[in-house]
Structure 1
Protein backbone atom coordinates (compact mmCIF):
# COMPACT_ATOMS: atom_id res chain seq x y z
CA UNK A 1 0.00 0.00 0.00
CA UNK A 2 2.94 2.29 0.61
CA UNK A 3 3.82 2.35 -3.10
CA UNK A 4 0.33 3.62 -3.91
CA UNK A 5 0.33 6.38 -1.35
CA UNK A 6 3.93 7.57 -1.14
CA UNK A 7 4.19 9.15 -4.59
CA UNK A 8 1.96 11.27 -6.73
CA UNK A 9 2.48 9.19 -9.88
CA UNK A 10 -0.76 7.21 -9.61
CA UNK A 11 -2.75 10.34 -8.78
CA UNK A 12 -1.31 12.37 -11.66
CA UNK A 13 -1.75 9.49 -14.12
CA UNK A 14 -5.36 9.00 -13.03
CA UNK A 15 -6.02 12.73 -13.48
CA UNK A 16 -4.40 12.76 -16.92
CA UNK A 17 -6.52 9.85 -18.13
CA UNK A 18 -9.59 11.33 -16.45
CA UNK A 19 -9.18 14.69 -18.20
CA UNK A 20 -8.73 13.00 -21.58
CA UNK A 21 -11.81 10.84 -21.03
CA UNK A 22 -13.79 13.87 -19.88
CA UNK A 23 -13.08 15.84 -23.04
CA UNK A 24 -13.74 12.82 -25.26
CA UNK A 25 -17.11 12.27 -23.57
CA UNK A 26 -18.02 15.97 -23.45
CA UNK A 27 -17.39 16.56 -27.16
CA UNK A 28 -19.07 13.32 -28.30
CA UNK A 29 -22.60 13.36 -29.65
CA UNK A 30 -25.13 13.12 -26.78
CA UNK A 31 -26.82 10.04 -28.25
CA UNK A 32 -23.62 8.16 -29.13
CA UNK A 33 -23.20 4.78 -27.45
CA UNK A 34 -19.46 5.40 -27.11
CA UNK A 35 -20.20 8.43 -24.99
CA UNK A 36 -21.98 6.31 -22.38
CA UNK A 37 -19.11 3.84 -22.29
CA UNK A 38 -16.55 6.63 -22.01
CA UNK A 39 -18.58 8.27 -19.25
CA UNK A 40 -18.74 5.00 -17.29
CA UNK A 41 -14.97 4.47 -17.64
CA UNK A 42 -14.48 8.07 -16.51
CA UNK A 43 -16.55 7.34 -13.41
CA UNK A 44 -14.19 4.46 -12.64
CA UNK A 45 -11.28 6.88 -12.93
CA UNK A 46 -13.07 9.25 -10.53
CA UNK A 47 -12.74 6.47 -7.97
CA UNK A 48 -9.01 6.06 -8.74
CA UNK A 49 -8.53 9.81 -8.43
CA UNK A 50 -10.41 10.08 -5.15
CA UNK A 51 -8.74 7.04 -3.56
CA UNK A 52 -5.22 8.04 -4.62
CA UNK A 53 -5.85 11.64 -3.54
CA UNK A 54 -7.20 10.50 -0.18
CA UNK A 55 -4.16 8.26 0.36
CA UNK A 56 -1.87 11.20 -0.44
CA UNK A 57 -3.85 13.41 1.92
CA UNK A 58 -3.62 10.88 4.76
CA UNK A 59 0.14 10.47 4.27
CA UNK A 60 1.14 14.11 3.84
CA UNK A 61 -1.47 16.37 5.45
CA UNK A 62 0.79 16.82 8.48
CA UNK A 63 3.20 18.86 6.34
CA UNK A 64 0.64 21.60 5.71
CA UNK A 65 -2.84 20.69 6.98
CA UNK A 66 -4.70 23.66 5.58
CA UNK A 67 -3.29 23.53 2.04
CA UNK A 68 -3.79 19.77 1.75
CA UNK A 69 -7.36 20.19 3.02
CA UNK A 70 -8.02 22.93 0.47
CA UNK A 71 -6.56 20.74 -2.27
CA UNK A 72 -8.80 17.84 -1.20
CA UNK A 73 -11.95 19.99 -1.30
CA UNK A 74 -10.97 21.58 -4.64
CA UNK A 75 -10.35 18.13 -6.11
CA UNK A 76 -13.79 16.89 -5.10
CA UNK A 77 -15.40 20.08 -6.46
CA UNK A 78 -13.50 19.61 -9.74
CA UNK A 79 -14.83 16.08 -10.11
CA UNK A 80 -18.34 17.29 -9.28
CA UNK A 81 -18.17 19.99 -11.96
CA UNK A 82 -16.88 17.46 -14.50
CA UNK A 83 -19.81 15.17 -13.78
CA UNK A 84 -22.36 17.99 -13.87
CA UNK A 85 -21.03 19.28 -17.21
CA UNK A 86 -21.31 15.80 -18.70
CA UNK A 87 -24.81 15.14 -17.37
CA UNK A 88 -26.10 18.55 -18.51
CA UNK A 89 -24.68 18.11 -22.02
CA UNK A 90 -25.96 14.51 -22.13
CA UNK A 91 -29.49 15.79 -21.52
CA UNK A 92 -29.11 18.36 -24.28
CA UNK A 93 -29.03 21.29 -21.86
CA UNK A 94 -26.40 23.99 -21.74
CA UNK A 95 -23.47 22.71 -19.68
CA UNK A 96 -21.09 25.54 -20.58
CA UNK A 97 -21.31 27.13 -17.14
CA UNK A 98 -20.22 23.90 -15.51
CA UNK A 99 -17.50 23.50 -18.15
CA UNK A 100 -16.13 26.97 -17.43
CA UNK A 101 -16.38 26.31 -13.70
CA UNK A 102 -14.53 23.03 -14.17
CA UNK A 103 -11.69 24.70 -16.07
CA UNK A 104 -11.31 27.47 -13.48
CA UNK A 105 -11.43 25.14 -10.47
CA UNK A 106 -9.14 22.61 -12.18
CA UNK A 107 -6.50 25.29 -12.79
CA UNK A 108 -6.74 26.44 -9.16
CA UNK A 109 -6.53 22.83 -7.96
CA UNK A 110 -3.52 22.17 -10.17
CA UNK A 111 -1.74 25.29 -8.91
CA UNK A 112 -2.45 24.44 -5.26
CA UNK A 113 -1.20 20.88 -5.87
CA UNK A 114 1.93 22.27 -7.52
CA UNK A 115 2.58 24.47 -4.50
CA UNK A 116 2.47 21.53 -2.07
CA UNK A 117 5.77 19.83 -1.17
CA UNK A 118 4.79 16.46 -2.70
CA UNK A 119 3.47 18.04 -5.91
CA UNK A 120 5.20 19.04 -9.11
CA UNK A 121 7.74 21.76 -8.36
CA UNK A 122 6.50 24.60 -10.61
CA UNK A 123 7.28 27.42 -8.24
CA UNK A 124 10.85 26.50 -7.25
CA UNK A 125 10.14 26.19 -3.52
Structure 2
Protein backbone atom coordinates (compact mmCIF):
# COMPACT_ATOMS: atom_id res chain seq x y z
CA UNK A 1 0.00 0.00 0.00
CA UNK A 2 2.76 2.48 0.84
CA UNK A 3 4.65 1.80 -2.36
CA UNK A 4 2.09 2.96 -4.90
CA UNK A 5 1.56 6.46 -6.12
CA UNK A 6 -2.20 6.35 -5.55
CA UNK A 7 -1.90 6.33 -1.76
CA UNK A 8 0.69 9.10 -1.82
CA UNK A 9 -1.31 11.32 -4.16
CA UNK A 10 -4.47 10.72 -2.13
CA UNK A 11 -2.72 11.86 1.06
CA UNK A 12 -1.38 15.10 -0.39
CA UNK A 13 -4.64 15.93 -2.17
CA UNK A 14 -6.53 15.54 1.14
CA UNK A 15 -3.82 17.61 2.87
CA UNK A 16 -4.21 20.36 0.28
CA UNK A 17 -7.98 20.40 0.84
CA UNK A 18 -7.48 20.52 4.62
CA UNK A 19 -4.95 23.34 4.23
CA UNK A 20 -7.41 25.46 2.24
CA UNK A 21 -10.18 24.61 4.72
CA UNK A 22 -7.98 25.72 7.64
CA UNK A 23 -7.27 29.04 5.94
CA UNK A 24 -10.95 29.62 5.20
CA UNK A 25 -11.95 28.76 8.78
CA UNK A 26 -9.32 31.14 10.11
CA UNK A 27 -10.56 33.95 7.88
CA UNK A 28 -14.13 33.36 9.13
CA UNK A 29 -12.94 33.62 12.73
CA UNK A 30 -13.73 29.99 13.59
CA UNK A 31 -10.64 29.30 15.69
CA UNK A 32 -11.85 26.08 17.33
CA UNK A 33 -12.85 24.51 14.01
CA UNK A 34 -9.60 25.69 12.44
CA UNK A 35 -7.63 24.02 15.23
CA UNK A 36 -9.39 20.69 14.58
CA UNK A 37 -8.71 20.91 10.84
CA UNK A 38 -5.10 21.96 11.50
CA UNK A 39 -4.49 18.96 13.77
CA UNK A 40 -6.02 16.66 11.15
CA UNK A 41 -3.76 18.26 8.56
CA UNK A 42 -0.75 17.49 10.74
CA UNK A 43 -1.82 13.84 10.78
CA UNK A 44 -1.93 13.92 6.99
CA UNK A 45 1.60 15.38 6.94
CA UNK A 46 2.68 12.17 8.65
CA UNK A 47 0.76 10.07 6.10
CA UNK A 48 2.43 12.02 3.27
CA UNK A 49 5.86 11.36 4.75
CA UNK A 50 5.14 7.64 5.30
CA UNK A 51 3.78 7.06 1.80
CA UNK A 52 6.54 9.20 0.27
CA UNK A 53 9.21 7.27 2.17
CA UNK A 54 7.68 4.01 0.97
CA UNK A 55 7.91 5.21 -2.62
CA UNK A 56 11.41 6.58 -2.12
CA UNK A 57 12.86 3.42 -0.64
CA UNK A 58 11.08 1.21 -3.15
CA UNK A 59 12.09 3.15 -6.25
CA UNK A 60 15.14 5.23 -5.30
CA UNK A 61 17.49 3.04 -7.31
CA UNK A 62 15.92 4.31 -10.56
CA UNK A 63 17.25 7.86 -10.21
CA UNK A 64 18.38 8.33 -6.63
CA UNK A 65 19.41 11.98 -6.86
CA UNK A 66 16.20 13.34 -8.40
CA UNK A 67 13.99 11.35 -6.01
CA UNK A 68 16.13 12.61 -3.14
CA UNK A 69 15.65 16.17 -4.39
CA UNK A 70 11.88 15.63 -4.66
CA UNK A 71 11.85 14.28 -1.11
CA UNK A 72 13.66 17.34 0.25
CA UNK A 73 11.49 19.79 -1.67
CA UNK A 74 8.37 17.86 -0.57
CA UNK A 75 9.40 18.23 3.06
CA UNK A 76 9.87 21.92 2.29
CA UNK A 77 6.25 22.07 1.11
CA UNK A 78 5.08 20.61 4.41
CA UNK A 79 7.28 23.02 6.38
CA UNK A 80 6.04 26.07 4.44
CA UNK A 81 2.38 25.01 4.75
CA UNK A 82 2.77 24.60 8.50
CA UNK A 83 4.53 27.96 8.80
CA UNK A 84 1.76 29.70 6.84
CA UNK A 85 -0.91 28.44 9.24
CA UNK A 86 1.12 29.13 12.38
CA UNK A 87 2.05 32.64 11.21
CA UNK A 88 -1.60 33.33 10.36
CA UNK A 89 -2.62 32.36 13.90
CA UNK A 90 0.07 34.63 15.34
CA UNK A 91 -1.04 37.41 12.97
CA UNK A 92 2.40 37.72 11.39
CA UNK A 93 3.18 38.32 7.73
CA UNK A 94 2.87 35.21 5.57
CA UNK A 95 4.08 36.73 2.28
CA UNK A 96 7.52 35.09 2.28
CA UNK A 97 6.44 31.65 3.45
CA UNK A 98 3.41 31.70 1.13
CA UNK A 99 5.74 32.41 -1.80
CA UNK A 100 8.01 29.61 -0.59
CA UNK A 101 5.00 27.30 -0.38
CA UNK A 102 3.93 28.03 -3.95
CA UNK A 103 7.47 27.61 -5.31
CA UNK A 104 8.20 24.37 -3.46
CA UNK A 105 4.76 22.97 -4.31
CA UNK A 106 5.23 23.65 -8.03
CA UNK A 107 8.72 22.12 -8.01
CA UNK A 108 7.47 19.05 -6.13
CA UNK A 109 4.52 18.56 -8.49
CA UNK A 110 6.77 18.96 -11.52
CA UNK A 111 9.30 16.44 -10.22
CA UNK A 112 6.62 14.04 -9.01
CA UNK A 113 4.83 13.85 -12.34
CA UNK A 114 7.93 14.00 -14.56
CA UNK A 115 10.11 11.40 -12.85
CA UNK A 116 9.88 7.79 -14.11
CA UNK A 117 7.43 6.56 -11.46
CA UNK A 118 5.05 9.46 -12.07
CA UNK A 119 1.43 8.53 -11.74
CA UNK A 120 0.67 4.99 -12.86
CA UNK A 121 -2.92 4.96 -14.06
CA UNK A 122 -3.01 1.21 -14.56
CA UNK A 123 -2.11 -0.13 -11.10
Aligned-residue RMSD, C-alpha: 1.3
Residue-pair matches, total:
118
**1:99 Cα offset (Å):** 1.3
Structure number with the bigger relative contact order (C-alpha 8 A, sep ≥ 6) is: 2
1:27: Cα distance to partner? 2.8
Distance in 2, matches of 1:110 and 1:45, equals 17
Q: 2:20 aligns with which of 19, 23, 26?
A: 23
Tell me if 1:74 matches 2:46: no
Measure how far apart 1:52 and its partner are: 0.3
Cα deviation, residue 31, structure 1: 5.5
- Say whether residues 1:120 and 2:119 are aligned partners: yes
Work out the CA distance in 2 between the residues paired with 1:107 and 1:35: 25
**Partner residue, 2:6:** 9
Q: CA deviation at 1:43?
A: 0.2
Structure 1 unaligned spans of 5+:
none
Moved over 3 A (4+): none
Q: TM-score, normalised by structure 2?
A: 0.90
Structure 2: gaps (5+ residues)? none
